A and B are shown apart, each in its own frame.
Chain A
Amino acid sequence: MKQTQVLVGLASCGIAAGAQKVYNKMSGLKEADKLPFELKRTGCIGMCYREPLVEVIDSTGSFLYGEIDENKAVEIIEKHVKQGEPVKEYLILSDLFKTSDNEYVDGQIKVALRNCGVIDPESIEEYQARGGYKAIAKLVKDNVSQEDVIQTIIDSGLRGRGGGGFSTGMKWKFAYSSKSESKYIICNADEGDPGAFMDRSVLEGDPHAVLEGMTIAAYAIGATEGVIYCRAEYPLAIKRLNIAIDQAREKGYLGKNIHGKSGFNFDMYIKEGAGAFVCGEETALMASVEGKRGMPRKRPPFPAVSGLWKKPTNINNVETFANVPYIILNGAGSFNCYGTEKSKGTKVFALTGKIARGGLVEVPMGMTIRDVIFKLGGGIQGNKKFKAVQLGGPSGGCIPEYLADTPIDYDSVTATGAIMGSGGMVVMDETTCMVDLARFFLDFTQKESCGKCTFCRIGTKRMLEILTRICEGEGKQGDIELLEELAYHIKNTSLCGLGQTAPNPVLTTIKYFRNEYEAHINNRKCPAAKCTKLLTYTIIPEKCTGCMVCAKNCSVNAITGERKQPHVIDQSKCIKCGVCYNKCKFEAISLT
């Protein structure tokens, strides 16, 4: 009989939820009683809303437990591992019966995430046991020509998963056609979009897939050196990448004469980013690798002709590279059988915000937004009303509820005014103010603008000022038109993607939620009751206990009342700071 396996999901968010403690507890129990089971760490299992996750695989099948703490871990070891009795109360997924969490898993197809949450990311043997490094070995053994490798990638229909959506095979072809003695492969792991974490999960859960993908790209275009540009905010990803690189070198999968092929030399190193969103843009990224300020430059020349250190360079995103070994090993047909006519394959999305089941999902292209949010994600938290979803981060846009049947593919999403982006999907309910959200994104892009192009540098600042004014109840007639005009000029006069897309969140919210802007400007009201300056604070007498906390904290003495008697807010004195609302322990302050 095979030994029972216990897997603990130890990616960053699992650890944040307490998974390391669970792992240590189980490890202690195993040591103390010399228990005959195998305890393993693994990457992101994807069901982030149930973290920490523990999976037990015994002779009868697989059992996934959710929301496990140290006490529950002891129970699982005692009952399930020792006595073979699954602990039903904590089970969320099992081969034996259906649970509500099955909806989250059904409909997903895992290509890029095929090994995440299955293997130990710090073990090259486990990656190989799942077919790892077979793709590159096959290319070397059969002496497949570079053109054929590139043609397979073109045929698969794989498009850049970082946001651009450009054909990966075509990109490789350009870099292959450039003649040079040295060429570079860069993996863009500078995942800066707030609300997206799929690249981190892939790097933490399956680093070897990225290394193999990069090695295949190097084979195809004839590159000798690789760079992984990874955010310094992802310490665990960097640690696991370093382990993976060392293991690959030891096995002869990186270095000189890879897989025994003489003259096939390729090695790589990790470059830690220093915190600049604009470095996700390829020319800025290369400037940053060269140690300069990360400012984009004009294209052409494209990186495929003159990139890092003026040599031909091919840059792809983490998720793109993770797909490559699968395509090479299983053929283009295994990938392009999924998806729509122009958007092939699967895409990973980070489902976050006001969603019931948030986490990482990988679905075939062409699934509708509604299906992702309601079927997989289980709808909105607390039975509130679904209002909109933000796709593509600060460069993307808000798609309203009535367009939720839009299929998710590059072209359909672009038609709504949003972009696919890297796959962050932030779900919003009726309590989210769309003007405030637009202001939030502008605040981000305005701070992250590198300052090279005038309209991006100053225009975003002016747009932010207008939006802030509107949120504070000082909006003027003509503000919406002024925002649209500025947006138009910023889009047209910026050099790089950051500026060209920075106005998208504002434009899409104006397009779909113009009434909210008008309510702020004309009626001085925030329909979502979010913008504090536009609210009226009143005390609900039935709920007020007369504890006097609000009165003590009110900086303008607008609240009066006797102890143990309901208090009253003098509206003429109230400056709408919101302190009373935050201080009240009895929810006695109403916002209208």
Chain B
Amino acid sequence: MRIKRIQPDVAKGEEQKKEDLTQVAAIINKYKGKKGNIIPLLQGTQNLFGYIPREAFIMISEEAGIPLNELYGVATFYAQFRLKPVGKHIVKVCHGTACHVQNATAVSVALEEALGVNDGETTPDGLFTLESVACLGCCSLAPVMMIGNDTFGKLTGKSAVNIIKEIKMKEKN
């Protein structure tokens, strides 16, 4: 269940935090002038920050010579790209067919309640971002969620919340 991740305008008074863009230059050098480079440029930038900062768009556009509207068009087309900062841990709850049939909704509802955020939002402490995604490809373990590179299967609302609690405990120590 893809969600709208795009907030076209930065709300008034809410300045995006300044990111250090020096590493973006290396990515631009790597892909500059190559055909079909828009997606790798954006993917590389997102790998650095977890999202694509506004200034990075402008920098890529100016230095790689790609119109800003083209960059923005591609970034908003694909589900992968984010235009807002994300939490330290991204919790991806699978809503593929197999997971839906095995009640993935209960997992999402329990996590929303435990984290106090809605789908697509980040907790105020910046630890977790909750996302619904289409299939993660682990259908035989449905319902499934992925945190970082770890996949957890055969979940219930309760067990999913326990996993979150464990991560929270680790973060505190």
Contacts and interface: CB of A to CB of B under 8 A. Distances in A.
A447 B97 contact: no
Contacts of B77: 276, 293-294, 450
B151 A274 contact: no
B45 to A, nearest CB: 12
B141 A48 contact: yes
A15 interface: yes
A34 to B, nearest CB: 32
A275 B98 contact: no
Q: Tell which of B77, B80, B144, B152 has the most Cβ of chain A within 10 Å.
A: B77
A569 to B, nearest CB: 20
Given A194-B96, A358-B140, 4 more contacts: A197-B135, A233-B136, A291-B38, A350-B140
Interface residues of B, number: 44
Contacts of A193: 135
Interface in B158-173: none
B130 interface: no
Interface stretch (A252-260, A402-410, A424-432): A424-432
A582 B106 contact: yes
Interface in B1-15: 1-2
Interface in B83-116: 95-102, 106, 109
Interface string A341-381: 00000000011111000110000000000000000000000
A274 B148 CA distance: 17
Contacts of A197: 135, 137-139
A263 to B, nearest CB: 25
A390 interface: yes
Contact of A234 (B95, B137, B140): B137
Contacts of B100: 194, 437, 440
A290 B151 contact: no
B139 A350 contact: yes
A352 B142 contact: yes
A48 B78 contact: no
A459 interface: no
B107 to A, nearest CB: 11
Given A12-B138, A274-B80, A582 B157 contact: yes
A546 interface: no
Nearest to B42: A274
B128 interface: no
Nearest to B2: A447
Q: 8 tightest CB-CB pairs across the interface, nearest first?
A: A194-B96, A48-B140, A16-B151, A274-B78, A275-B79, A195-B97, A194-B135, A352-B98
Contacts of A359: 140
Contacts of A390: 97
Interface string A4-47: 00000000110111000000000000000000000000000000
B36 A291 contact: yes
18 contacts: A16-B153, A17-B141, A195-B96, A232-B80, A233-B135, A233-B137, A235-B149, A274-B80, A275-B80, A276-B77, A290-B36, A350-B139, A352-B139, A390-B97, A393-B97, A426-B98, A428-B101, A440-B100
Interface in A83-99: none
A460 interface: no
A424 B140 CA distance: 11
Nearest to B133: A233
Contact of A353 (B74, B80, B102, B144): B102
B141 A13 contact: yes
Contacts of B74: 291-293
A50 to B, nearest CB: 10
A200 B96 CA distance: 15
Given A16-B151, A17-B153, A277 B134 contact: yes
Contacts of A293: 73-74, 77
A235 B80 CA distance: 14
Nearest to A394: B97
B78 to A, nearest CB: 4
B102 A290 contact: no
Nearest to A193: B135
A193 B141 CA distance: 16
Contact of A354 (B101, B106, B149): B101
A448 B2 contact: yes
Contacts of B106: 582
Contacts of A192: 134-135
A277 B133 CA distance: 12
Nearest to B157: A582
B123 interface: no
B26 interface: no
